[in-house]
Chains A and B, each alone.
Chain A
Amino acid sequence: MQTKNVIKSVIMLGDAAVGKTSLVRRFVVDQFDDTYITTLGAKPMEKDIRIVGKDAIIELRMIIWDIMGQKDYERVHRDMFEGVNGGIIVCDVTKPETLKNLGEYWIPTFFEYAGKVPLVLMANKIDLKEQLKIEIKDIQALLASFQMKDGCSPPFYLTSAKTGENVQVGFEKLGELLARDMGLL
């Protein structure tokens, strides 16, 4: 089987402190830190993943744009949305308003500037089980109102950047959606 090299840009979306930076850190360097340093601007990182396609092995280099989550930084957000190929949308399972904001701000604004490109939702901090305030059906209900260009709603994972649960799987799912989007799967 031949190998095909592809580079795609993806972006982390969601309110401040939901764990965007921590998820990228877990995925890229497999580490976690409890201290919170708010991201300013947009920080690019990269990671290579391998996907078995229908007639080639796809070596996908993901450029991951980790942006600041604070509301009101709309210029930063919009500038960074333009031209990206996919996104990870993140909420914090202990804070219901972070899920609500995905539906009210992040997803619609992102689709407006980037088009209806592949998205994966990560409902993060699932390790904080006793503080859980979001139900699966709330996530499903929210996602049901958004369709990507393939007509499907974005898939979701319950993740923990702290323990690593479902982080790799979630990013790989996005890789798979990107490969499918290019007609390689």
Chain B
Amino acid sequence: MAKKMKRQPETLVELMDIILSRVCRGLKSSRHLLADACTEMEGFGIDPDAPEPEKLEILINYVENLRDEDGNMVFSAVEIQEYRTQLRKLTRRK
């Protein structure tokens, strides 16, 4: 458990900030893919000021399958697993 890790998110907003910034960085060089992904994510109707856990789950499911221009996955399975764990933790604590 103790291996890597930057700071763990303390709120759902922070978790969403981490995920979205990773999407942006991962697709920054494939602009049309990033624009499409953003439009898609907007459609989930998440409130960025108070993300609903169910909707964050939808967001994580979506980014799990994102691929860049070369067909590589944007997120690793480990990252996705981590987001799910964090989401669970943050939701339980409430």
B25: contacting residue among A43, A72, A79, CB under 8 A: A79
B20: contacting residue among A37, A40, A44, A45, CB under 8 A: A40
- Residue A161 at the chain B interface, CB threshold 8 Å: no
- Residue A6 at the chain B interface, CB threshold 8 Å: no
Contact flags B4-27 to A (C-beta < 8 A → 1, else 0): 000000000110111011011100
B34, A44: Cβ atoms closer than 8 Å: yes
Contacts of B13 in A (CB 8 A): 72-73
Contacts of B48 in A (CB 8 A): 16, 38, 40, 68, 70, 73
Q: Which secondary structure dominates where chain B touches chain A? A: helix
Q: Which of A51-82 contact B (CB under 8 A)?
A: 63, 68, 70, 72-76, 79-80
A39, B38: Cβ atoms closer than 8 Å: yes
A73, B20: Cβ atoms closer than 8 Å: yes
Q: Interface size bucket, A side?
A: 20 to 34
A44, B35: Cβ atoms closer than 8 Å: yes
B38, A40: Cβ atoms closer than 8 Å: yes
B38, A42: Cβ atoms closer than 8 Å: yes
The CA-CA distance from A29 to B34 in the complex, in Å, is 19
CB closest residue in chain B, given A79: B21
B14, A37: Cβ atoms closer than 8 Å: no
- Residue B31 at the chain A interface, CB threshold 8 Å: yes
Q: Within the complex, what minimum Cβ distance (angstroms) separates B29 from chain A?
A: 10
B17, A40: Cβ atoms closer than 8 Å: no
- Residue B46 at the chain A interface, CB threshold 8 Å: yes
Given known contacts A70-B48, A72-B13, is B18 in contact with A43 (CB within 8 Å)? no
Given known contacts A68-B48, A72-B13, A76-B17, is B25 in contact with A40 (CB within 8 Å)? no
15 contacting pairs across A/B (C-beta < 8 A): A38-B48, A40-B20, A40-B48, A41-B24, A41-B34, A41-B37, A42-B34, A63-B31, A72-B14, A73-B20, A73-B48, A75-B17, A75-B20, A79-B25, A80-B24
10 additional A-B residue pairs with CB within 8 Å, beyond A39-B38, A76-B17, A79-B24: A37-B42, A38-B42, A39-B42, A40-B20, A41-B23, A41-B24, A43-B34, A46-B31, A73-B48, A75-B21
